[in-house]
Amino acid sequence: MQPSWPSEYVALALLCERPMHGYELYQRVRSDQALRAIWRIERSQLYFLLRKLEREGYIAELAEEQAAGPPRLIYAPTPAGRAALEAWLRRPEAQPHDLRAAFLAKLYLALRSTPDIAPALVEEQRRVLNEWAGRQRRRAAGNDFVALVHRLRLSQIEAALAWLDELWALIHAGQLTDSVSHPAPSEPAVRS
């Protein structure tokens, strides 16, 4: 079973950078300005996602002994979790309305972990949006209300395509990858 929304992949991607406990993961999200601009999550929601990712076999719990108190649970990705994240990072969003959260999260996480896949992701996303634009152009003829709806959708898709052109230029100039914080190499994955 694949995670169903970008939130699960965001949590998984951060754990692939470095295994950590739930509160530390929450603090990382809260302290990352770019992630906060894309993704808002409450601590209770994050713990729900961690339980879901564990049930799906994408992460595993490890106990970390502490000097005082009970062991703290550390979450680490499994090989299946790493593979699911890698596949998601390479897959364009099928729906234009998913650019705002899903694509931005995907792009940001790809730039952090595997910057060399970002250009291909942008190109694939352009291909998908161009297909959508073609369908909207065919439906936008006429002066009735339905045609107006399709022209609005077409203008939104064209704006997204223009934004992807700008993004492409920034990536190829090296300006975007330099502005994204790159995490330290992660520890090995947990065996599943």
Mean pLDDT of 102-109: 94
Distance, in Å, from the CA atom of 88 to the CA atom of 39, rounded to the nearest integer, reads 17
Nearest to 111 by CA among 1, 18, 34: 34
Nearest to 33 by CA among 101, 122, 108: 108
The pLDDT of residue 67 is: 74
Q: Is residue 184 part of a domain?
A: no
Q: Is residue 121 part of a domain?
A: yes
Residue at token pair 């792009």: 107
Parent domain of 105: 6-179
What is the CATH number for 169?
Answer: 1.10.10.10
Within 10 angstroms of residue 167's Cβ, the number of other Cβ atoms is 19
The predicted-structure confidence for 147-184, as pLDDT tens digits, reads as follows 999 999 999 999 999 999 999 999 988 888 766 765 55
Q: Is residue 136 part of a domain?
A: yes
The pLDDT of residue 1 is: 45
What are the phi and psi torsion angles at 75 (to 5°)? Answer: -105, 135
3-class DSSP assignment, residue 62? strand
Q: Is residue 56 part of a domain?
A: yes
The pLDDT of residue 66 is: 74
Find all residues with CB under 8 Å of 27, minimum gap 6, and list them: none
Q: Is residue 67 part of a domain?
A: yes
Q: Is residue 190 part of a domain?
A: no
The predicted-structure confidence for 112-141, as pLDDT tens digits, reads as follows 998 999 999 999 999 999 999 999 998 888
Q: Is residue 188 part of a domain?
A: no
Q: How many CA atoms lie within 13 A of 44 on its CB side?
A: 0
Radius of gyration of the chain (CA): 19
Residue 191 has pLDDT above 60, yes or no: no
- DSSP secondary structure letter of residue 173: T
Mean pLDDT of 74-101: 95
Let me know how long the chain is.
192
Q: How many domains does the chain have?
A: 1
Amino acid at 43: R
The predicted-structure confidence for 21-72, as pLDDT tens digits, reads as follows 999 999 999 999 988 888 888 899 999 999 999 999 999 999 777 777 778 8
Q: Is residue 153 part of a domain?
A: yes
Torsion-angle region of residue 69: left (phi > 0), alpha (psi -120 to 50) or beta?
A: left
